[in-house]
A = this chain, B = another copy of it.
Amino acid sequence: MPPTQRTDARRNHERLLAAAQEAFAETGAEASLNDIARRAGVGPGTLYRHFPTRAALLAAVLEERVERLCARADELTATRPADQALAEWLRTFIAHARTHHGLGGALLLEASDAPDTDCHRRIEDAAATVLTRAQRNGTARPDLAADDLLQLALGIALTTTAPEPDHEARADRLLALALDGVHAPAPGRAAP
Protein backbone atom coordinates (compact mmCIF):
# COMPACT_ATOMS: atom_id res chain seq x y z
CA MET A 1 0.00 0.00 0.00
CA PRO A 2 1.83 3.10 -1.21
CA PRO A 3 1.57 5.91 1.33
CA THR A 4 1.97 8.23 -1.64
CA GLN A 5 -0.48 8.78 -4.47
CA ARG A 6 -0.08 7.15 -7.77
CA THR A 7 1.76 9.34 -10.22
CA ASP A 8 -1.22 9.85 -12.50
CA ALA A 9 -3.29 10.94 -9.53
CA ARG A 10 -0.62 13.42 -8.59
CA ARG A 11 -0.49 14.73 -12.11
CA ASN A 12 -4.21 15.20 -12.30
CA HIS A 13 -4.18 16.96 -8.97
CA GLU A 14 -1.71 19.48 -10.33
CA ARG A 15 -3.59 19.95 -13.54
CA LEU A 16 -6.84 20.52 -11.72
CA LEU A 17 -5.23 23.08 -9.49
CA ALA A 18 -3.81 24.94 -12.44
CA ALA A 19 -7.09 24.85 -14.33
CA ALA A 20 -8.98 26.00 -11.27
CA GLN A 21 -6.64 28.89 -10.68
CA GLU A 22 -7.14 29.99 -14.24
CA ALA A 23 -10.89 29.59 -14.21
CA PHE A 24 -11.39 31.31 -10.87
CA ALA A 25 -9.26 34.20 -11.98
CA GLU A 26 -11.27 34.56 -15.17
CA THR A 27 -14.79 33.90 -14.06
CA GLY A 28 -14.75 34.37 -10.33
CA ALA A 29 -15.36 31.96 -7.52
CA GLU A 30 -18.52 30.59 -9.07
CA ALA A 31 -16.77 29.24 -12.15
CA SER A 32 -18.17 26.00 -13.49
CA LEU A 33 -16.52 22.95 -11.96
CA ASN A 34 -17.40 21.04 -15.07
CA ASP A 35 -15.45 23.52 -17.08
CA ILE A 36 -12.49 23.29 -14.75
CA ALA A 37 -12.41 19.53 -15.19
CA ARG A 38 -12.60 19.99 -18.93
CA ARG A 39 -9.73 22.45 -18.91
CA ALA A 40 -7.67 20.06 -16.86
CA GLY A 41 -8.45 17.30 -19.34
CA VAL A 42 -10.09 15.05 -16.79
CA GLY A 43 -13.63 13.86 -16.14
CA PRO A 44 -15.88 15.47 -13.59
CA GLY A 45 -15.60 12.40 -11.42
CA THR A 46 -11.89 12.91 -11.09
CA LEU A 47 -12.33 16.49 -10.05
CA TYR A 48 -14.76 15.50 -7.34
CA ARG A 49 -12.52 12.75 -6.09
CA HIS A 50 -9.65 15.14 -5.61
CA PHE A 51 -11.72 18.01 -4.28
CA PRO A 52 -15.00 16.88 -2.79
CA THR A 53 -16.47 20.37 -2.58
CA ARG A 54 -16.04 23.64 -4.36
CA ALA A 55 -14.75 25.10 -1.10
CA ALA A 56 -12.02 22.49 -0.95
CA LEU A 57 -10.87 23.42 -4.41
CA LEU A 58 -10.97 27.10 -3.60
CA ALA A 59 -8.99 26.49 -0.44
CA ALA A 60 -6.34 24.59 -2.34
CA VAL A 61 -6.04 27.31 -4.93
CA LEU A 62 -5.81 29.99 -2.31
CA GLU A 63 -3.35 28.30 -0.08
CA GLU A 64 -0.36 29.78 -1.74
CA ARG A 65 -1.85 33.25 -1.62
CA VAL A 66 -2.69 32.86 2.00
CA GLU A 67 0.82 31.77 2.71
CA ARG A 68 2.17 34.86 1.06
CA LEU A 69 -0.21 37.05 2.99
CA CYS A 70 0.92 35.55 6.27
CA ALA A 71 4.53 35.99 5.32
CA ARG A 72 3.82 39.61 4.55
CA ALA A 73 2.49 40.09 8.07
CA ASP A 74 5.76 38.90 9.55
CA GLU A 75 7.73 41.02 7.16
CA LEU A 76 5.80 44.13 8.02
CA THR A 77 6.06 43.39 11.69
CA ALA A 78 9.81 43.27 11.37
CA THR A 79 10.26 46.39 9.30
CA ARG A 80 7.55 48.90 10.16
CA PRO A 81 6.11 50.72 13.13
CA ALA A 82 3.11 48.93 14.55
CA ASP A 83 0.40 51.17 13.18
CA GLN A 84 1.90 51.34 9.72
CA ALA A 85 2.27 47.59 9.64
CA LEU A 86 -1.35 47.16 10.55
CA ALA A 87 -2.58 49.58 7.93
CA GLU A 88 -0.35 48.21 5.26
CA TRP A 89 -1.24 44.62 5.93
CA LEU A 90 -4.94 45.35 5.81
CA ARG A 91 -4.44 47.11 2.52
CA THR A 92 -2.71 44.06 1.15
CA PHE A 93 -5.37 41.76 2.49
CA ILE A 94 -8.11 43.75 0.85
CA ALA A 95 -6.22 43.92 -2.42
CA HIS A 96 -5.88 40.15 -2.45
CA ALA A 97 -9.49 39.55 -1.59
CA ARG A 98 -10.60 41.98 -4.25
CA THR A 99 -8.57 40.65 -7.11
CA HIS A 100 -9.73 37.16 -6.33
CA HIS A 101 -13.32 38.24 -6.76
CA GLY A 102 -13.90 38.29 -3.06
CA LEU A 103 -12.81 34.74 -3.49
CA GLY A 104 -11.49 33.80 -0.11
CA GLY A 105 -14.65 35.55 1.02
CA ALA A 106 -16.91 32.61 1.32
CA LEU A 107 -13.92 30.56 2.27
CA LEU A 108 -12.71 32.77 5.05
CA LEU A 109 -16.12 33.10 6.53
CA GLU A 110 -17.33 29.55 6.25
CA ALA A 111 -13.89 28.16 6.97
CA SER A 112 -13.13 25.10 8.97
CA ASP A 113 -14.76 22.63 6.58
CA ALA A 114 -11.41 21.21 5.62
CA PRO A 115 -9.46 20.69 8.80
CA ASP A 116 -6.03 20.38 7.24
CA THR A 117 -5.94 23.37 4.95
CA ASP A 118 -7.48 25.77 7.40
CA CYS A 119 -6.68 29.02 5.70
CA HIS A 120 -9.07 30.81 7.93
CA ARG A 121 -7.06 30.11 11.02
CA ARG A 122 -3.81 31.09 9.41
CA ILE A 123 -5.11 34.39 8.16
CA GLU A 124 -6.61 35.11 11.51
CA ASP A 125 -3.29 34.45 13.16
CA ALA A 126 -1.57 36.84 10.82
CA ALA A 127 -4.16 39.49 11.56
CA ALA A 128 -3.74 38.92 15.26
CA THR A 129 -0.01 39.38 14.92
CA VAL A 130 -0.20 42.85 13.43
CA LEU A 131 -3.16 43.87 15.52
CA THR A 132 -1.89 42.93 18.97
CA ARG A 133 1.37 44.66 18.26
CA ALA A 134 -0.48 47.85 17.44
CA GLN A 135 -2.54 47.39 20.56
CA ARG A 136 0.49 47.06 22.78
CA ASN A 137 1.82 50.11 21.10
CA GLY A 138 -1.34 52.00 21.88
CA THR A 139 -2.23 52.75 18.27
CA ALA A 140 -5.15 50.37 18.17
CA ARG A 141 -7.93 50.18 20.67
CA PRO A 142 -7.43 47.28 23.04
CA ASP A 143 -10.97 45.92 22.86
CA LEU A 144 -10.77 45.01 19.20
CA ALA A 145 -10.67 41.36 18.19
CA ALA A 146 -8.65 40.23 15.20
CA ASP A 147 -11.52 38.40 13.57
CA ASP A 148 -13.77 41.43 13.84
CA LEU A 149 -11.18 43.54 12.14
CA LEU A 150 -10.70 40.92 9.48
CA GLN A 151 -14.37 40.69 8.86
CA LEU A 152 -14.68 44.40 8.41
CA ALA A 153 -11.84 44.34 5.92
CA LEU A 154 -13.48 41.46 4.13
CA GLY A 155 -16.69 43.44 3.95
CA ILE A 156 -14.83 46.24 2.27
CA ALA A 157 -13.30 43.82 -0.17
CA LEU A 158 -16.59 42.16 -0.95
CA THR A 159 -18.40 45.35 -1.76
CA THR A 160 -15.59 46.61 -3.95
CA THR A 161 -15.10 43.44 -5.89
CA ALA A 162 -17.13 44.45 -8.90
CA PRO A 163 -14.93 45.59 -11.76
CA GLU A 164 -16.03 49.19 -11.66
CA PRO A 165 -13.07 51.47 -12.22
CA ASP A 166 -13.26 53.59 -9.09
CA HIS A 167 -13.64 50.68 -6.74
CA GLU A 168 -10.00 50.54 -5.88
CA ALA A 169 -9.92 54.11 -4.65
CA ARG A 170 -13.11 53.51 -2.81
CA ALA A 171 -11.69 50.50 -1.05
CA ASP A 172 -8.85 52.71 0.11
CA ARG A 173 -11.22 55.32 1.43
CA LEU A 174 -13.28 52.78 3.29
CA LEU A 175 -10.22 51.24 4.83
CA ALA A 176 -9.00 54.64 5.96
CA LEU A 177 -12.35 55.21 7.58
CA ALA A 178 -12.23 51.88 9.31
CA LEU A 179 -8.71 52.55 10.50
CA ASP A 180 -9.77 55.79 12.09
CA GLY A 181 -12.25 53.69 13.99
CA VAL A 182 -9.47 51.34 14.97
CA HIS A 183 -7.36 54.21 16.25
CA ALA A 184 -10.19 55.73 18.21
CA PRO A 185 -9.32 55.61 21.87
CA ALA A 186 -12.14 53.89 23.69
CA PRO A 187 -14.87 51.31 23.17
CA GLY A 188 -17.99 53.41 23.23
CA ARG A 189 -17.58 56.94 24.46
CA ALA A 190 -14.93 58.88 26.22
CA ALA A 191 -11.26 58.27 26.67
CA PRO A 192 -10.21 56.37 29.80
Interface residues of A (CB under 8 A from B): 109-110, 144, 148, 151-152, 154-160, 162, 170, 173-174, 176-184, 187-188
- How many chain copies does the complex carry? 2
Contact between chains at A160 and B156 (CB < 8 Å):
no
Q: How far is the CB of A130 from chain B (nearest CB, A)?
A: 16
Q: A181-B184, A183-B184 are in contact. Are A151 and B176 (CB under 8 A)?
A: no
- Contact among B151, B176, B180, B181 with A159 in the assembled complex (CB-CB below 8 Å): B151
Q: CA–CA, A157 to B154, complex, Å?
A: 11
Q: CA–CA, A160 to B109, complex, Å?
A: 9
Q: CA–CA, A86 to B97, complex, Å?
A: 29
Q: A148-B170, A188-B176 are in contact. Are A159 and B162 (CB under 8 A)?
A: no
Q: CA–CA, A162 to B154, complex, Å?
A: 14
User: CB-CB < 8 A to A178: which residues of B?
Assistant: 152, 177-178, 181
Q: CA–CA, A176 to B180, complex, Å?
A: 12
Q: CA–CA, A182 to B156, complex, Å?
A: 15
User: CB-CB < 8 A to A154: which residues of B?
Assistant: 155, 159
Contact between chains at B174 and A152 (CB < 8 Å):
yes
Q: Name, among A155, A156, A174, the residue most crowded by chain B CB atoms within 10 Å (CB to CB).
A: A155
- Contact among B110, B176, B182 with A177 in the assembled complex (CB-CB below 8 Å): B182
Q: CA–CA, A109 to B144, complex, Å?
A: 29
Q: In the complex, what residue of chain B is closest to A174 when comparing beta carbons?
A: B152
Q: CA–CA, A110 to B163, complex, Å?
A: 11
Q: In the complex, what residue of chain B is closest to A160 when comparing beta carbons?
A: B151
- Contact among B109, B148, B158, B180 with A181 in the assembled complex (CB-CB below 8 Å): B180
